[in-house]
């Protein structure tokens, strides 16, 4: 029975090309996948790329589909009575392709992602949604500015500057523009790995996602305690309790449903084997306020949709008196018409504020930044640092009494 296995061309060369091997009738046909990776990130036992490799999901998806394609083609030749040899198989595989354009490549990436069936607990594939949005915007831009479809050769610094300006004029928020550029670079990087793109301008340091730092609000330790103690009922009470869980665990809303008694170890740790977004395991000490909430409901409070929860949180924080004027960090379409540079703090509170508050309050309380990274389930420490809602002055004042700066 025919089978396909993958190996690296060389374990001592970095990067090394992933080679496919079709075993049939005691023979071996070797073909290149055109994907190159760091040999350290190859899992020979699983015959796939490990999560340490960038774009590992896309590469593994391609390997699975290529395996199916080769076996299906082999079976078709067999059914047609073709006498099998390596030359016949090679010609059949090479004849199965065609000219790959920028648009057809992106459509292929989107198709593969759609067929993968990856979905969050809300039933949506958010990366697929992002892919489709980015592709549609790119086509709109090309139709307006180029009056034609874009090609790989069009993607140079002149294109980059025009595209960024077009996105800003729309206007899109700077964070949205950054995501657009990152997705486009992902498309191009996959095309380069597959050998269909030879234009390397996108790898230039000038061709980068805008990274405008935005300071998001957070709820201080005193404010979290005030919310916990305030007397409430109905939907505001449920919204408050869900928000407190986020403030004390740092969990994403998509992972709240896993914060139940069954996930609490005897050691007092909340154990989540695999978070929704990153797939990373997290271990979080059970805060006494979270325990009180779980005991009150004999489990988790009834969950509320993100949209409704954001509305309730603004009402909740207004009722709690969080009305100090703060700088409005919303951009573009997210900023309501007529809003000024400064707004009451409660207007900026969202479900994600809980996660940022958890990180910030832990840091202020003296917890090590790497411990906070583990609680949040971040892959990179830089991401955790961006979550901290404090100024450099506050960070410096936190270290004033450190023995390093004194005689003690």
Quote the Cα angle for 380-174-392, to 5°. Answer: 55
Least confident of 145-149, 213-217, 220-224, 398-402: 213-217
Work out the average pLDDT over 331-359: 76
Distance CA(121)–CA(118), nearest Å, equals 10
Separation in Å, CA 360 to CA 99, 283, 316, 367, 402: 51, 18, 21, 10, 19
> Is residue 39 a contact partner of residue 94, using CB atoms and an 8 Å limit?
no
Q: What are phi and psi of 21, to 5 degrees?
A: -135, 115
What is the average per-residue pLDDT within 254-282?
66
> Would you state the pLDDT for residue 331?
56
Residue 205: pLDDT band by 50, 70, 90 thresholds?
confident
Place of tokens 């988790």: 300
> What are the percentages of helix, strand and coil residues in the chain, rounded to 5?
50, 10, 35
Average pLDDT over residues 156-170: 90
What is the rounded average pLDDT of the residues 2-31?
88
Does 97 have pLDDT greater than 50? no
Q: Per residue in 293-322, pLDDT tens?
A: 988 988 888 888 888 999 999 999 999 999
Q: What is residue 279's predicted lDDT score, i.e. its pLDDT? A: 62
Long-range contacts (CB closer than 8 Å, 24 or more residues apart) made by 81-86: 84/24, 84/25, 84/27, 85/27, 86/27, 86/29
The confidence score (pLDDT) of residue 215 equals 67
Distance, CA of 28 to CA of 3 (rounded, Å): 10
* β-bridge mates for residue 25, sequence order: none
Per-residue pLDDT at 408: 63
Distance CA 240, CA 235 (A): 8
Do residues 334 and 345 lie in contact, with contact meaning Cβ atoms separated by under 8 Å? no
Q: Lowest-confidence range among 96-105, 132-141, 287-296, 355-364?
A: 96-105
Tell me, what's the pLDDT at 94?
Answer: 66
Pairing of strands 27-37, 16-24: antiparallel
CA distance 345 to 334: 16
């Amino acid at each position: 029975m025919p089978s396909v296995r993958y190996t690296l061309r060389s374990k001592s060369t970095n990067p090394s090309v992933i080679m496919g091997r079709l075993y049939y009738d005691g023979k071996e046909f070797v073909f290149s996948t055109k994907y190159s990776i760091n040999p350290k990130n190859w899992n020979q036992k699983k015959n796939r790329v490990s999560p340490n490799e960038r774009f590992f999901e896309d590469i593994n998806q391609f390997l699975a589909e290529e395996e199916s394609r080769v076996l299906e083609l082999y079976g078709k030749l067999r059914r047609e009575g073709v006498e099998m040899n390596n030359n016949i198989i090679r010609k059949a595989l090479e004849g199965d392709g065609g000219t790959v354009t920028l648009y057809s490549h992106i459509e292929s990436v989107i198709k593969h992602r759609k067929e993968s069936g990856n979905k969050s607990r809300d039933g949506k594939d958010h990366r697929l949604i992002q892919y489709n949005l980015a592709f549609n915007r790119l086509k709109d831009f090309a139709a307006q500015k180029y009056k034609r479809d874009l090609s790989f050769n069009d993607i140079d610094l002149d294109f980059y500057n025009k595209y960024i300006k077009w996105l800003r004029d729309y206007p899109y928020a700077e964070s949205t523009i950054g995501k657009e550029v990152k997705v486009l670079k992902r498309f191009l990087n996959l095309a380069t790995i597959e050998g269909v793109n030879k234009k390397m301008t996108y790898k230039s340091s000038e061709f980068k996602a805008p990274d405008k730092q935005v300071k998001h609000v957070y709820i201080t330790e005193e404010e979290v305690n005030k919310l916990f103690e305030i007397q409430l009922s109905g939907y505001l009470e449920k919204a408050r309790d869900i928000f407190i869980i986020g403030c004390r665990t740092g969990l994403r809303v998509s992972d709240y449903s896993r914060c139940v008694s069954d996930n609490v170890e005897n050691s007092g740790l909340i154990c989540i084997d695999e978070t929704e977004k990153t797939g990373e395991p997290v271990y979080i000490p059970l805060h006494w306020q979270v325990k009180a909430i779980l005991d009150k409901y004999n489990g988790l409070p009834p969950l509320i949709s993100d949209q409704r929860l954001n509305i309730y949180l603004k009402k909740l924080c207004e009722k709690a008196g969080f009305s100090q004027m703060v700088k409005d960090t919303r951009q573009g379409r997210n900023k309501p018409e007529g809003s000024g540079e400064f707004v009451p703090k409660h207007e900026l509170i969202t479900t994600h504020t809980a996660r940022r508050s958890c990180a910030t309050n832990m840091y202020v309380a003296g917890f090590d930044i790497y411990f906070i990274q583990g609680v949040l389930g971040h892959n990179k420490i830089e991401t955790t640092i961006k979550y901290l809602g404090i100024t450099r002055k506050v960070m410096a004042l936190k270290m004033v009494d450190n023995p390093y700066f004194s005689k003690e």
